[in-house]
Chain A
Amino acid sequence: MNELIQDSKVTSFVEFLPKTKLPFNNELLLKASDVLKSIDFPTTRTEAWKYTRLGRIAAIPTREQIARAGKNLSREFINANFQISNNGLTFVFENGIFRSDLSSGEFPKGATIKPLTGCTKEELATVGQSIPLENELFNSMNTVYAIDGMSIVIEDKTIIEEPIQFIHLLTGKNTVANLRNFIHIGKFAKAEIMQSFFALDAENSFANSITEINVSENAHLIVNKLQCEAEGNFHVSTEQVDQAKDATFTINTFTLDGTFVRNNLNISVNGVNATTNLNGAYILNKQQHVDNHTCVDHRAPHCNSNELYKGVIDNKATAVFNGKVFVRKDAQKINAFQSNANVLLSDFSTVNSKPELEIYADDVKCSHGSTTGQLDEEAVFYLRARGISDRSARNLMVEAFIGQVLEKIENEALLKFTQEKLNKRFNWESIVE
């Protein structure tokens, strides 16, 4: 039985949040509310939050939320600023609320794409099944206070060529947006989803996002996650992925802006012969803090996972990387590769990188590497001796470093979008010819 905490920070944090109107399973809701009554914001004494302090989120005066949704925006504005690929599959949410006025009304044959508020109780029956609630503040909060989100269901054998774009805008002051997404890719189906997060005149606001992803037998899914929330805002997101046999799942997580970002990426590889690719890039300056926690759980034999995360950390920014790979006892013949590399550009920037391999099978190939260093000053001198300014020399080298992750992006429009964002923020030349 959970012990009740009277007047915890959590209790007062959620007090003014609207309870979810989504037709979730009742037991799930009860369980999640119980958790919220019994826990507080985790401190750095909690292993999973060892290097990430939540004080600034806990301190958001949620009763003073200024905006909910309804910012005056046009489709043209969305197209010009946030849309990555110019197609008809764009879905926009503001502070968790669906903006049908800015979204596509149609979706291709074999795909059902709609806000969760438009789903029936039956359609949402499996929501939350694989999301742990016990001791999980953000998961529980998200469950009880989920505003809306996207449901994407791709039928078996359906191939959706155009990327489906999910755009989330954080607006207003002290806003708390709990959003919940649900993605199901049917057997032998194929899709690409772009999830991008932005802030628009937002201040001290917080997005808490959960995406449940189910990749069925022999299905292919690429998720591109772009985090561009502006300075002064906070973001916690969790992807819970289940992969069936022969399925291929790729997720690219690119953190380009935002004061505080925590990503929890949990992938359960349940079937044989599956392939999992996790790529991440984080480019930080000022006092940004970005924490990537990833976990690949190999539960079945003959699978491959490749993980490459690279970070560039400047000024007083801090990065955390925690990458777990589990190989269960019967999961033989697994190839699991993990690499995290960081470049510190200032004497005040820090990174905490921790790879964790737990292997219980005996016939596997696993490797991991973690490096943190500075730019090679010899190389900087070499470039300068050719007439390149110190700044451009460093930029060229940083671009080259992070370019090795960016080149994993297959979608050209996304690559261009990402580069433009980086060029603008860091004054880079173009990375790719």
Chain B
Amino acid sequence: MITINNLHASIDGKEILKGLNLEVKAGEVHAIMGPNGAGKSTLASVLAGREEYEITDGSVDFDGKDLLELSTEDRAREGLFLAFQYPVEIPGVSNVNFLRTALNEIREYKGEESISAKDFMAMVREKSAIVELDAKLASRSVNEGFSGGEKKRNEIFQMAMLEPKLAILDETDSGLDIDALRIVANGVNTLKSKDNATIVITHYQRLLDYIVPDFVHVLYNGRIVKSGTKELALELEEKGYDWIKAEVDAH
């Protein structure tokens, strides 16, 4: 699905990603953990196409396409989805209105017909139910006045609507209470299939009880420095990152 090879990225002349390698196959769930400032969100931003970052080396293959050559919107149209760590509020732009525009632009890109108003509304009802998002919120301005938890659920709602091949969830669990966490995780699990893949960026092992990862990676200082199975997350929860830092820094 996605192969990241020796990725180097900097912002304002400062190198943040320093030769990152990662491969995710269809049907898999990968968790990325790591201390604050390690570069987790940077990786997500670079993959989504944020223009402030300069890619100085490396390559990203996304389902046979050179991802780094694509514009942000084309990456989304090819099936990449980023659930933002900090979803933006957009006053006056209605959630469903913009999603319909998005859906139709994606369809147009794929040479498909646009969705009818009726089918679209049925889809909104079905998908908002998955994350238990109030229908009223679905039609309000994007994230405006939403609580932290509602914003995160709205991200998963959008993911459900757009049905991406690869979803990257950047700390979607942070700040959620246990009920909201279950809802979000349930949303992700419901949408999971053998044809799509998920990367969850998180600080908390508890999320991984709900979204069970096939692999857990530690991102530190701009690189994946350790990979393992879900047991690694438990170990990190218990011991923190110092032992990993020590390991890496010793080299």
- Taking a contact as CB atoms closer than 8 A, the residue among B49, B84, B93, B158 that contacts A397 in the complex is B93
- Taking a contact as CB atoms closer than 8 A, the residue among A378, A386, A400 that contacts B76 in the complex is A386
Closest chain B CB from A294 CB (angstroms): 24
The answer for the CA separation of A399 and B98 in the assembled complex, in Å, is: 12
Whether the Cβ atoms of A388 and B88 lie closer than 8 Å is no
Whether the Cβ atoms of B88 and A382 lie closer than 8 Å is yes
- Indicate whether A376 reaches chain B with its CB closer than 8 angstroms: yes
- Indicate whether B169 reaches chain A with its CB closer than 8 angstroms: no
- Indicate whether B97 reaches chain A with its CB closer than 8 angstroms: yes
- Indicate whether B226 reaches chain A with its CB closer than 8 angstroms: no
Whether the Cβ atoms of B98 and A396 lie closer than 8 Å is yes
Whether the Cβ atoms of B72 and A384 lie closer than 8 Å is yes
| Contact residues in A for B98 (Cβ distance below 8 Å) | 383, 386, 388, 396
- Indicate whether A387 reaches chain B with its CB closer than 8 angstroms: yes
Q: Is the interface of A mostly helix, strand, loop or mixed?
A: helix
| Contact residues in B for A390 (Cβ distance below 8 Å) | 71, 73
| Contact residues in B for A396 (Cβ distance below 8 Å) | 93, 97-98, 101
Q: A386-B158, A388-B98 are in contact. Are A381 and B90 (CB under 8 A)?
A: no
Closest chain A CB from B130 CB (angstroms): 18
The answer for the CA separation of A346 and B127 in the assembled complex, in Å, is: 38
Chain B 61-95 against A: per-residue CB contact (8 Å), 1 yes, 0 no? 00000000001110111000110100111111100
- Indicate whether B162 reaches chain A with its CB closer than 8 angstroms: yes
Whether the Cβ atoms of B82 and A400 lie closer than 8 Å is no
Chain B residue with minimal CB distance to A433? B97
Chain B residue with minimal CB distance to A386? B102
Whether the Cβ atoms of A400 and B73 lie closer than 8 Å is no
Closest chain B CB from A384 CB (angstroms): 4
- Indicate whether A403 reaches chain B with its CB closer than 8 angstroms: yes
Chain A residue with minimal CB distance to B77? A387
Closest chain B CB from A151 CB (angstroms): 40
- Indicate whether A330 reaches chain B with its CB closer than 8 angstroms: no
| Contact residues in B for A429 (Cβ distance below 8 Å) | 101
Whether the Cβ atoms of A400 and B99 lie closer than 8 Å is no
| Contact residues in A for B32 (Cβ distance below 8 Å) | none
Whether the Cβ atoms of A379 and B73 lie closer than 8 Å is no
**How many chain A residues touch B (Cβ–Cβ < 8 Å)?**
23
Chain B 198-212 against A: per-residue CB contact (8 Å), 1 yes, 0 no? 000000000000000
Closest chain B CB from A107 CB (angstroms): 40
Whether the Cβ atoms of B88 and A378 lie closer than 8 Å is yes
Q: A381-B50, A382-B84, A382-B87 are in contact. Are A388 and B102 (CB under 8 A)?
A: yes
Closest chain B CB from A245 CB (angstroms): 36
Whether the Cβ atoms of A383 and B90 lie closer than 8 Å is yes
| Contact residues in B for A433 (Cβ distance below 8 Å) | 97
Closest chain A CB from B143 CB (angstroms): 9
Closest chain B CB from A391 CB (angstroms): 10
| Contact residues in B for A386 (Cβ distance below 8 Å) | 76, 98-99, 102, 158, 162
| Contact residues in A for B92 (Cβ distance below 8 Å) | 397, 399-401, 403-404
| Contact residues in A for B97 (Cβ distance below 8 Å) | 396, 433
Closest chain A CB from B52 CB (angstroms): 9
The answer for the CA separation of A27 and B240 in the assembled complex, in Å, is: 92
Whether the Cβ atoms of B90 and A387 lie closer than 8 Å is no
Per the 8 Å Cβ criterion, residues 1-56 of B in contact with A are 48-50
Closest chain A CB from B153 CB (angstroms): 16
- Taking a contact as CB atoms closer than 8 A, the residue among B49, B105, B141 that contacts A385 in the complex is B49
Q: A385-B48, A385-B82 are in contact. Are A379 and B102 (CB under 8 A)?
A: no
| Contact residues in A for B87 (Cβ distance below 8 Å) | 382
Q: A387-B73, A387-B162, A433-B97 are in contact. Are A382 and B90 (CB under 8 A)?
A: yes
- Indicate whether B106 reaches chain A with its CB closer than 8 angstroms: yes
Closest chain A CB from B166 CB (angstroms): 13
| Contact residues in B for A392 (Cβ distance below 8 Å) | 101, 105
| Contact residues in A for B89 (Cβ distance below 8 Å) | 379
| Contact residues in A for B90 (Cβ distance below 8 Å) | 376, 379, 382-383, 397, 400
Chain B residue with minimal CB distance to A392? B101
Closest chain A CB from B194 CB (angstroms): 23
Chain B residue with minimal CB distance to A396? B93
Per the 8 Å Cβ criterion, residues 365-382 of A in contact with B are 376, 378-379, 381-382
The answer for the CA separation of A392 and B71 in the assembled complex, in Å, is: 14
Whether the Cβ atoms of B93 and A385 lie closer than 8 Å is no
Given A385-B49, A388-B102, A400-B91, 19 more contacts at CB 8 Å? A379-B142, A381-B72, A382-B84, A382-B87, A382-B88, A382-B142, A383-B90, A384-B73, A385-B73, A387-B73, A387-B106, A387-B109, A387-B162, A388-B98, A396-B93, A396-B97, A397-B92, A400-B90, A400-B141
- Some 8 contacts from A to B, beta carbons below 8 A apart, are A376-B90, A379-B89, A387-B162, A389-B105, A396-B93, A397-B92, A397-B93, A400-B92
3 tightest Cβ-Cβ pairs between the two chains A and B: A400-B92, A387-B76, A386-B102
Interface residues of A (CB under 8 A from B): 376, 378-379, 381-390, 392, 396-397, 399-401, 403-404, 429, 433
